[in-house]
Amino acid sequence: MTDDRLTVTLMRLSKLVIFLVLALGLTISSFVHAQTLATAERQKIEVLIKYVGDLKDTKFIRNGSSYDVSTAVRFLRGKWEANESSVKTARDFIDKVASFSGTSGKPYLIRLKDGSETKSRDFFYAELKKIEKPAAEQSVFGTKSTDLLNSPPNKAP
């Protein structure tokens, strides 16, 4: 091969290597991003389940029968595991696992201490909304950052 042809071949080869490295980098980046999202969603689901487990004097109503929260936690985890392939997000968990009976189609209910009942779907979505509240609106040392922005400045002594 002549020097010119060798130079052209090396240039083409280097472009191909650069392309493959970039493609691999994007693939790895996408995979890591997907794993991060999956981890974040899994954590939200864990928080929702833990919240139910921490409730006092609350009953979980499934197909007309009342269960204590520890039984509800075991049930929700088991149903989540059984449906893991179709549950990708906390919303999937609420809609596909924690809202209704797959057997009867009846909605699950949460019976609170005062006797009031709420559809578990509404209950879980309200809790998810709290979990997903933007950081700017979350409490910092007991004060919302929006309160800090709207409060009058301190006066000098």
pLDDT tens-digit map of 49-96: 999 999 999 999 999 999 999 999 999 999 999 998 889 999 999 999
- Does residue 103 contact residue 79 with C-beta atoms inside 8 Å? no
**Nearest CA among 123, 117, 119 for reference residue 52:** 123
**Nearest CA among 69, 74, 75, 61 for reference residue 111:** 61
pTM of this prediction? Answer: 0.64
Structure tokens at 1: 């091969």
Which residue carries 């994007």 as its tokens? 26
Q: What's the pLDDT score for residue 145? A: 43
101-112 tens-digit pLDDT: 999 999 999 999
Which residue carries 């009846």 as its tokens? 106
Q: What's the pLDDT score for residue 133? A: 86
Give the span between the Cα atoms of 65 and 59, in whole angstroms.
10
